[in-house]
Structure 1
Amino acid sequence: MAGLIDKAKQFVSDAVASMEKPEATVKDVDLKSVCLSNVTYNAKVNVTNPYSVSIPICEIRYVLKSFGSVIATGTVPDPGSLKGDGDTLLDVEIKVPHSVLVSLVKDIARDWDIDYDLQVNLVVDLPLLGEFTIPVNNKGEVKLPSLSDYFTK
């Protein structure tokens, strides 16, 4: 009897592992705004939902690194739902304090941008499976604001 239960568990485990799951990619990271205390960047994350029903997103967690150092972390609670059978474009705001940018002087002075590694975890609530985390990693460059950006916004 124990062997039958183990086979049933293995069957269910294999079935769940082979199910299609939502996938995500970072499309773009751009400057959103500049204020006296921080610079806000906006990451556009595209999520493809293979299911015909919408899926609630519990939260979005992010970590922004540059040269191995964490420059920003945060959570976006209850950002909405993923559309059924399609793509959903999510905006993730990332606030980077000016004091952190000062610690990246070598990289900034070279080309006036920040080389980054963005890690985004989308926590969704899948029917029958429960909470499921969709990890997304993206590396690239983000341009820093110039002095004129402070006066044009």
Structure 2
Amino acid sequence: MSQLLDKAKNFVSDKMGDVAKPEASVTDVDFKRVSMDSVEYLAKVSVHNPYSTSVPICEVRYTFKSANREIASGTIPDPGSLKATDTTMVDVPMKVPYGILMSLAKDIGADWDIDYQLDIGLVIDLPVIGNFTIPLSQKGEVKLPTASSMFA
């Protein structure tokens, strides 16, 4: 009996490995707004759903790093769902306190931008499989706001 169960498990795992899964990519990271205590940035994530039904997004986890230091992190619970056989844009807002930006002054001083690494875990609920995390990572640089961009 246990051999039959093992064969069934192997068969299912082999078949599930061939099933198309949603794919995602970070399309943009940019300045969003300035508040009294922080600067907010917005990451846009493009997610393609190959299934003919919508798929719920359980949560989005993110870590925003600069100079090998975490400058923002968080979780966005239940941000919606992925449209059936379509591409959905998911917004990931990130608040960076001013105190952290000031501690990065060496990196900022020369070119008024922040070199960053953004790590995102997009947790979706796939039918039959259950929760599945799509890991994303992107490196780049994002400009700090100027006086003209704050009041535009």
Q: So what's the TM-score if we normalise by structure 1?
A: 0.95
SS in 2 for 1:92: strand
Instruction: Give the counterpart letter for 1:29 in structure 2.
Output: V
Q: Identical aligned pairs, as a percentage?
A: 57
Structure 2 residue aligned with 1:116: 116
What whole-Å deviation, never above 9, does each CA across 1:49-79 have from its counterpart, x for those lacking one?
0101000111111000112110000111111
SS in 1 for 2:4: helix
SS in 1 for 2:140: strand
User: Unmatched 5+ residue regions in structure 1?
Assistant: none
Give distance in 2, aligned partners of 1:149 and 1:137. 27
Structure 2 residue aligned with 1:61: 61
- Alpha-carbon deviation of 1:116? 0.5
Structure 2 residue aligned with 1:25: 25
SS in 1 for 2:17: helix
SS in 1 for 2:20: coil
What whole-Å deviation, never above 9, does each CA across 1:15-55 have from its counterpart, x for those lacking one?
11221111110000111001120000010100010101000
SS in 2 for 1:93: strand
- Alpha-carbon deviation of 1:12? 0.6
- Alpha-carbon deviation of 1:7? 1.5
- Alpha-carbon deviation of 1:147? 3.0
Structure 2 residue aligned with 1:43: 43
Instruction: Give the counterpart letter for 1:28 in structure 2.
Output: D
Structure 1 residue aligned with 2:143: 143
User: Unmatched 5+ residue regions in structure 2?
Assistant: none
In the comparison of the two structures, how many residue pairs are matched? 152
1:125 aligns with 2:128: no
Instruction: Give the counterpart letter for 1:128 in structure 2.
Output: V
Q: So what's the TM-score if we normalise by structure 2?
A: 0.95
Give distance in 1, aligned partners of 2:6 and 2:77. 38
Q: Is the 8 A contact 1:62 1:73 kept in 2?
A: yes
